[in-house]
Amino acid sequence: MTLMEELKELLKEDARLILEGKLLKNTIVEMALKLDKDLIKLLMKNEKVKQHFFRDIDGILVFDKEKFIKFIDNKEFLPDSYTTFKNKIGLMASKEYISKSKEVVLVWPFKDCVLEGGQEKSDEKRQEIFYNEILAPDEIDRLLEPKVFTNFKRIDKYGEHEVTEIKPADNLIIKGNNLLVLYSLKKRFSGKIKLIYIDPPYNTGSDEFKYNDNFNHSTWLTFMKNRLEVAKELLKKDGAIFVQIDDNEQAYLKVLMDEIFGRENFKEDIAVMIGSESGVNAINVMRGEQLFRVKEHILYYTKNAKLHRFKPIYVRAMDYNMSYRLEVIKTPNGYQVNDVYKKLLQEMFGQDKLTGLTDEQKELFLIKFKDYCLKNAENIYALKTDIQKSGDNFKNFAKQNRKKGIVEEYTTSDGRVILVYKGGMLTPLSQRIVVENGKKYYGKLISDFWWDIGATPSSEGGVNLKGGKKAEKMIKRIIELTTEPGDIVLDFFMGTGTTCAVAHKMGRQYIGIEQLDYGENDALIRLKKVINGDSTGISKEVGWNGGGDFVYMELKKLNEVFVEKIRNAKTSKELLSIWDEMKQNGFLSYRINPVTFDKNRKDFEALKLEEQKRLLIEMLDKNELYVNLSEIDDIQYQVSEEDKKLNKQFYEGRF
């Protein structure tokens, strides 16, 4: 028996390594990585195996883990039918061993490769395959070159129109692979984007982002790394990026973003409360298995922390600050000051303290007190006595005011008027008022805990999804923090278009990128509603009544046409028909010999349908998914003269 045959027979003695009579390659590798003692004992039973995978160092046997895993990982060891067919047609790219360690550090498997592939929607995961082919540097030649855009449409309240020119301030909605679109945007938008917000796939372990073997974390990080690196190039020097994520990848993503953007450019890990401590998960809490998960994270980085400043904004506070109790009214004879707290207590209960009141009376008073102050916020102040950080002139003025018992005006060097009372500064409640849905709330300066976001209303923006949609209120807050009207906002996981919808309502220029169709929940439909005066979300708050336009465009497909056909195929017969078309009109991988494939058609037909689909997609050259800009004049790609003109305008900025 050969070493391979003896090893297979030996491993079958361990029931943990077998399923339905077959050895589990990944389980064997995983146990070897963990130095499983029972596996090592088993290997030492066979003399030939022991001699090959153990080294004698001064009388001590040492298990050569790397050698063993490399042997197990060899394509000839336990090949399945899919792998066997790939071997036959020469699709195996390399025999080099790649570590299968699950640890995620600053270096991980595939880190220096490109994960080029589309997303899939969770509600279609049974029908649509996700291709995540990882391309090593020597396999990439023109993958990341600028691409040709096509199917241009300008959309406004009057409908869809032919695009005659690309304007500098146009809002853009782009359909296509987001990695390739981002690289295509570099020529025009490098260093020009003020804000990026993305809500990427969360990698929860469910089918939405299920990868092969044990590379779940590593492939997800590679997927993110490829896109974040080019996103950084698009940001302005003082620009910012916000990435929303849940607990599954937050820590890993933080390490990755530290590496790409620099730890010194990390601003905040914002916790967003998105649910409540109730619902079907209560049973998990009662069992002591899992706490209620009511938050997600938004990692906030800037390109250059020395240049970046966010705008201080007030957000709704959990409770009212009782120090705002002085009503200050200007009269012809000066200022009149009333303590609203004492005034209302006197009116309601004939006393100026809460002492002796019942809990019900206290609650009634507090409700009336807060309501009065909020309704009359323009006249309500708090007295701030700590003025140590103020300038000497102001401190001297306040000191002289202390014993006067009156309100006086102090004018600063930049022309601001500050009210001084009893040696302190009167701070106005009106500056802290937050209005939501027409109602006033006491506000406080923003923190890194956003408890007031909550779940997104199901009908917001006319989009109805089971979950995952982000609240317009949250996107508005991010845009307010970091941008001014006219700044460019980018979302390259656009989904149903929340970011673009909010940016449109707030007068920001925006770019949205999406590869998937969402049917009646598609971003195009939502943005058309925005243009026509959508009244949901933040519309009332920002006074939105409709208007504006955007330009829609797509990457011009090449091999991507075949990818879509393969995804949609229902039978092996359809796939073989697609294969015949691929041979004639597609761009195949340099590793493929069509003649060899055709000689082994019966082996291909014996594979499962999903394996057949995966194989055909792997056979396509991923450098040729879309038409490269450098080939725009090649007659075989049939780029229209109008598209040539618009692409030239877009890339060269000749408006």
Q: Of the given ranges (6-15, 286-295, 446-455), which has the lowest mean pLDDT? A: 286-295
Residues 296-304, mean pLDDT to the nearest whole number: 97
Report the half-sphere exposure of 596 (CA within 13 A, side-chain side): 11
Secondary structure (3-state) at 450:
strand
**pLDDT score at 265:** 98
More confident residue, 86 or 24: 24
132: how many CB neighbours lie within 10 A of its CB? 21
Q: Contact, 305 vs 267, CB < 8 A?
A: yes
- What the block records as the tokens of 456 is 């997104």
How far apart CA 113 and CA 135 sit, in angstroms, is 6
The residues, any chain, with a CB within 8 Å of residue 571's CB and separated by 6 or more, are 609
pLDDT of residue 110: 66
Q: What is the per-residue pLDDT for 275?
A: 80
Token representation of residue 299: 């990692």
- Dmax over CA atoms of the chain, in Å, equals 110
- Identify the CA nearest to 503 among candidates 446, 454, 544, 463: 544
Question: 336 versus 107: which is more confidently predicted?
Answer: 336
In a domain? residue 300 = yes
Which token pair is 411? Answer: 């004018």
CB 17, CB 28: distance < 8 Å? yes
Residues 176, 268 share a domain: yes
State whether 300 and 371 are in the same domain: no
Q: How many domains does the chain have?
A: 3
Query: 383 and 346, same structural domain?
Result: yes
Among 154-163, 186-195, 447-456, name the one with the lowest average pLDDT. 447-456
Please check whether residue 147 lies inside any domain of the structure. no
Q: For residue 468, give the DSSP letter.
A: -
Residues 394 and 472 both lie in one domain: no
From 527, 547, 567, the end of a domain falls on 547
- Residue 283 belongs to a domain: yes
For residues 449 and 271, the answer to whether their CB atoms sit within 8 Å is: yes
User: What is the pLDDT confidence band of residue 129, given thresholds at 50, 70 and 90?
Assistant: very low
Predicted confidence band of residue 213 (pLDDT cuts 50, 70, 90):
very low
Is 396 domain-assigned? yes
Is 273 part of a structural domain of the chain?
Answer: yes
Domain that holds residue 509: 170-309+451-547
Distance CA 351, CA 337 (A): 19
Nearest to 174 by CA among 402, 500, 595: 500
- Provide φ and ψ at 251, rounded to 5°: -65, -40
φ, ψ of residue 298 to 5 degrees: the values are -125, 110
Nearest-angstrom CA–CA distance, 187 and 144? 12
Region class of 35: left (phi > 0), else alpha (psi between -120 and 50), else beta: left
Residue 234 and residue 186 in contact, taking contact as beta carbons nearer than 8 Å: yes
Inside any domain, residue 584: no
Phi and psi dihedrals of 102, rounded to 5? -85, -10
**Weakest-pLDDT range from 87-91, 209-213, 282-286:** 209-213
Distance CA 645, CA 647 (A): 6
Give pLDDT, residue 185.
97
Question: d(Cα 655, Cα 640) in Å, to the nearest integer?
Answer: 19
Give pTM, 2 decimals.
Answer: 0.81
In which band, very low, low, confident or very high, does the pLDDT at 2 lie, cut at 50, 70 and 90? confident
Percent pLDDT > 90 in the chain is 66
Tell me: do 300 and 320 sit in the same domain: no
- Range with the poorest average pLDDT among 95-99, 253-257, 339-343, 377-381: 95-99
Per-residue pLDDT tens for 429-487? Answer: 999 999 887 889 999 999 999 998 877 766 677 666 555 568 999 999 999 999 999 99
Per the document, the length of the chain is 655
**What sign does the dihedral 111-116-120-125 (CA atoms) show?**
negative
221-246, pLDDT tens digit by residue?
Answer: 888 999 999 999 999 999 999 999 99
CATH classification at residue 234: 3.40.50.150
∠ CA 224-230-232, rounded to 5°: 95
Query: DSSP 3-state assignment of 106?
Result: coil
Please state, in angstroms and rounded to a whole number, the distance separating the CA atoms of residues 458 and 539. Answer: 16
Residue 496 lies in a domain: yes
Share of the chain residues as helix, strand and coil, in percent rounded to the nearest 5: 40, 20, 40
Q: Does residue 236 sit in the same domain as residue 279? A: yes
* The pLDDT of residue 77: 75
* Residue 327 and residue 430 in one domain: yes
Q: Determine, yes or no, domain membership for 54.
A: yes
Query: Among residues 547, 563, 595, which one ends one of the domains?
Result: 547
The verdict on 175 and 266 lying in the same domain is yes
| DSSP one-letter string for 120-187 | --GGGTTT-----PEEPGGG-SSTTS-B-EEEEEEEETTEEE------TT--EEEES-HHHHHHHHHH
Q: Residue 203: what pLDDT?
A: 67
Indicate the pLDDT class of residue 176, thresholds 50, 70 and 90. Answer: very high
Torsion of CA 26, 31, 33, 37, to 10 degrees: -160
Give the per-residue pLDDT at 466: 53
Confidence of residue 518 (pLDDT cuts 50, 70, 90): low
* Distance of alpha carbon 39 from alpha carbon 35, whole angstroms: 8
Query: Does the pLDDT at position 211 exceed 60?
Result: no
Taking CA 494 as the corner, what is the angle to CA 489 and CA 495, rounded to the nearest 5 degrees? 155
Measure the CA angle with vertex 330, ends 329 and 334; round to 5°: 125
Q: Indicate if the pLDDT at residue 68 is higher than 50.
A: yes
Average pLDDT of every residue of the chain: 87
In degrees, rounded to 5, the angle at the alpha carbon of residue 335 between the alpha carbons of residues 331 and 338 is: 110
For residues 294 and 329, state if they share a domain: no
Chain mean position to CA 194: 16
Neighbours of 110 (CB within 10 A): 19
54 and 38 fall within a common domain: yes
pLDDT score at 222: 86
Interval 368-423: pLDDT, tens:
999 999 999 999 999 999 998 899 999 999 999 998 989 999 999 889 999 999 99
Shared-domain flag, residues 499 and 458? yes
Residue 280 has pLDDT above 90, yes or no: no
Spatial distance between the Cα atoms of 358 and 381, rounded to a whole number of angstroms: 28
Of 528, 547, 566, the last residue of a domain is: 547
The mean per-residue pLDDT over the stretch 60-70 comes to: 89
Assess whether 296 and 179 both reside in one domain.
yes
- The predicted model gives 59-83 an average pLDDT of 80
